[in-house]
Amino acid sequence: AQSVTQLDSHVSVSEGTPVLLRCNYSSSYSPSLFWYVQHPNKGLQLLLKYTSAATLVKGINGFEAEFKKSETSFHLTKPSAHMSDAAEYFCVVKPTNFGNEKLTFGTGTRLTIIP
Amino acid sequence: NAGVTQTPKFRILKIGQSMTLQCTQDMNHNYMYWYRQDPGMGLKLIYYSVGAGITDKGEVPNGYNVSRSTTEDFPLRLELAAPSQTSVYFCASTRTDTNEKLFFGSGTQLSVL
């Protein structure tokens, strides 16, 4: 069994300040973890993924996430928010080496950027 | 490349009507997926396909049907629309089955009234 919990449904930050979007997971297997971003009226786009290599993962647009097994967390961070970062962010978990039909999506965190 | 293309973008159905949501991809991906996204919820898998002629149920298949006659196309059929099927539907594809990113279409917003 597996699940993913995004701890905040909505996060607001000022432009130029750090972003932190929190994700906790549970999995009976060694997990692969992903962050996807969804801009308004668009499909989801992969930001970054962790698949049992380096625990600090760098993604597109300056985002990164750290896999912490002891805390079962995979939080998404960015040092300085930009207006274009306003979107919905989904944390996703899957047992490593299982098919994509086993993906479990979180409920999403809406990120608002204050000018 | 156009990527994953979904049509229509919006549709309103009456209860009991039927319709087909179209999905096509031009990346020669074998794996295709249909998801629904309800407000405040994560995406739920409806059906998926691992190649032409092969489909399988996901987490929430009731009320839907699919077919995969070609690598490019993966239509989703609603036979008797119900209000519970009001949702945003996303089609996605990927080249391999493990750990590669999914490419998503821009979605179909469906309302059943």
- CA dist A75 to A49, A109, B96, Å? 12, 12, 26
Say if strands A31-38 and B4-7 run parallel, antiparallel, or are unpaired.
Answer: unpaired
- Are B92 and B4 in contact, with CB atoms under 8 Å apart? yes
- Nearest residue of A to residue B57 by CA position? A101
Residue A97 belongs to domain with CATH number: 2.60.40.10
Whole domain around residue A26: which residue ranges?
2-79+88-114
Report the pLDDT averaged over residues B82-98.
91
* Closest chain B CA to residue A46: B101
User: Does B13 have pLDDT greater than 90?
Assistant: yes
Mean pLDDT score, B73-99:
92
**Residue B80: which CATH number?**
2.60.40.10
What integer is the mean pLDDT of A98-113?
A: 93
Residue A72 contacts B, CB cutoff 8 Å: no
Cβ-based neighbours of B4, under 8 Å, separated by 6 or more:
A43, B23, B24, B25, B27, B91, B92, B93, B103, B104, B105
B22 has pLDDT over 90: yes
How many distinct structural domains can be found in chain A?
1
Q: Residue B46's domain spans which residues?
A: 4-112
Question: Tens of pLDDT along A27-43?
Answer: 988 899 999 999 988 88
Q: Which residue shows structure tokens 């009226």?
A: A41
Task: Answer whether A30 touches B (CB < 8 Å).
Answer: no
Question: What mean pLDDT is predicted for residues A81-99?
Answer: 93
Residue contact A100–B90, C-beta within 8 A:
no
Contact A105 B43 (CB under 8 A): yes
Predicted confidence at residue B1, as pLDDT, reads: 64
How does pLDDT run across A40-83, given as a tens digit for each residue? 888 899 999 998 778 899 999 999 999 999 999 999 999 999 99
Task: Give chain B as a DSSP string.
Answer: ---EEEE-SEEEE-TT--EEEEEEESS--SEEEEEEE-TTS-EEEEEEEEETTEEEE-S--TTEEE--SSSSB--EEESS--GGG-EEEEEEEESSSSSPPPEE---EEEEE-
Enumerate the residues of chain B whose CB falls inside 8 A of the CB of residue A46.
Answer: 101-102
Domain count, chain B: 1
* The pLDDT of residue B39: 86
User: Is the model's pLDDT at B99 over the cut of 70?
Assistant: no
Model confidence over B25-83: pLDDT tens digits? Answer: 999 999 999 999 998 888 999 999 999 999 999 999 999 999 999 999 999 999 899 99
